[in-house]
Amino acid sequence: MSTARLVERHPELGSEELVAALAPPPRFDEARFENYVPNPEEPSQAEAVDRCREFASEVGDSSAKGGSWFRALFGRGSKSSAGGGRRPGLYLDGGFGVGKTHLLASIWHAVEGPKAYATFVELTNLVGILGFNEAVRRLSGHRFLAIDEFELDDPGDTMLVTQLLSKLTEAGVRVAATSNTLPDKLGEGRFAAVDFLREIHAMAERFNVVRIDGPDYRHRDVVEPPEPRDDAELRELAEATPVSTLDDFEELCAHLQRVHPSKYGRMVDEVSAVHLSGVHAAPNQGVALRLVALADRLYDRAVPVRNSGSPLSALFTEEMLEGGYRKKYLRALSRLTALSNELVRS
């Protein structure tokens, strides 16, 4: 029996499709403030819910974009601090697995449109396809923009995003973002961030920061991925699982380098499970970061994962886990562990 393969998928997304797809991923269709369950041992989580509710209410109150609300926000005598003040942005900072994306999607669901939701890589790709001015024109008509997985990985992203957020907030767009890194620490350990401190700090000044502490909720019961299957068993499982895929890990890594990360979501749409044979440590950081993006999109769509070869916990080398992208790699391992354990009894 022939099994579908991700390497045979070459998704193409036009600009109109990209704009139309600016909404939370399927996993967070039902995310609401009411079904976020704060950890009673972590007071910052309940506080974060309150802050996000308040922000959503402010977005609803600020319908006169660019008018009196904006002048009051930035006019003479207005106050703005990390702990308070009505800056145009809300920045949810915390470790992986504390529910930041759930709260971001909850804000999105709570406010009326026009509104948009995108991961950081989807947003930068949208600007690349539309062009900066056209992206500003389209997004400026929105009341609210949600940005998930906010990171600055290179100087180009830094300049692009700081200019984009400047234009959008000046137009009255409210922005909320999630990240594992405080806004004034973005880029550290990845490029010469010190050369862009003015831009980074200017962007950080647009956000009130809400810190969310706590352990990874995905690992309250299980902290390790299941043992890898052997190749023959993996193939049998793939063939017995309708609408699943089976790929050689080496071939998939090569394929990921030919597909823009913003298209990974479309690549795994309507896939019931992903099977990867011969998994081993990522050969270099470029491939590793693309595997992070794939893990994020699989998690967004709740697509379980089975594998042979090395355990998924060995996907990133010790050197990678000690470098500037450590938090990204740990987030990917957390999500892949959760996805692989969804099928552990299958």
As given in the structure block, the two tokens for residue 282 are 């990522």
Which pLDDT belongs to residue 67?
A: 39
Which pLDDT belongs to residue 40?
A: 92
Q: Mean per-residue pLDDT for 190-204?
A: 58
Cα separation of 84 and 55, whole Å?
11
For residue 211, how many other CB atoms are within 10 A of its CB?
A: 15
Percentage, residues of the chain above pLDDT 70: 82
Q: Please give the mean pLDDT across all residues of the chain.
A: 84
The residue among 104 and 2 whose pLDDT is bigger is 104
Q: Is the pLDDT of residue 273 over 50?
A: yes
The residue among 271 and 78 whose pLDDT is bigger is 271
Chain segment 90-120, per-residue pLDDT in tens: 999 888 778 999 999 999 999 998 999 998 8
Q: What share of the chain is helix, strand, coil (3-state, %, to 5)?
A: 50, 15, 35
Q: Is the pLDDT of residue 75 over 80?
A: no
Query: Are the C-beta atoms of residues 105 and 134 closer than 8 Å to each other?
Result: no
Query: Are the C-beta atoms of residues 28 and 101 closer than 8 Å to each other?
Result: yes
In this structure, what are the phi and psi dihedrals at residue 279, rounded to the nearest 5 degrees? Answer: -65, 140
Question: Checking phi first, is residue 10 left (phi over 0); if not, alpha (psi -120 to 50) or beta?
Answer: beta
Which element (helix H / strand E) includes 81?
strand 80-81
> What residues does 307 pair with on adjacent strands?
276
Which pLDDT belongs to residue 344?
A: 61
As given in the structure block, the two tokens for residue 188 are 């550290």
Which pLDDT belongs to residue 210?
A: 92
Q: Is the pLDDT of residue 256 over 70?
A: yes
Which pLDDT belongs to residue 187?
A: 52
Of 10-19, 53-62, 272-281, which has the strongest mean pLDDT? 272-281
Provide the 3-class DSSP secondary structure of residue 339.
helix
Structural domains of the chain, with CATH: 31-215 (3.40.50.300), 218-341 (no CATH)
Q: Is the pLDDT of residue 74 over 70?
A: no
Residue 65 CA from chain centroid, whole number: 27
Q: Give the residue from 188, 183, 226, 210 showing the smallest Cα distance to 85.
A: 210
For residue 294, how many other CB atoms are within 10 A of its CB?
A: 24
Query: Are the C-beta atoms of residues 173 and 144 closer than 8 Å to each other?
Result: yes
Q: Mean per-residue pLDDT for 62-76?
A: 41
Which pLDDT belongs to residue 203?
A: 73
Is residue 160 very low, low, confident or very high in pLDDT (cuts 50, 70, 90)? confident
Is residue 198 very low, low, confident or very high in pLDDT (cuts 50, 70, 90)? low
Cα separation of 57 and 126, whole Å?
28
- 331, amino acid identity: R
Query: Are the C-beta atoms of residues 292 and 299 closer than 8 Å to each other?
Result: no
Which pLDDT belongs to residue 182?
A: 60
Q: Is the pLDDT of residue 79 over 60?
A: no
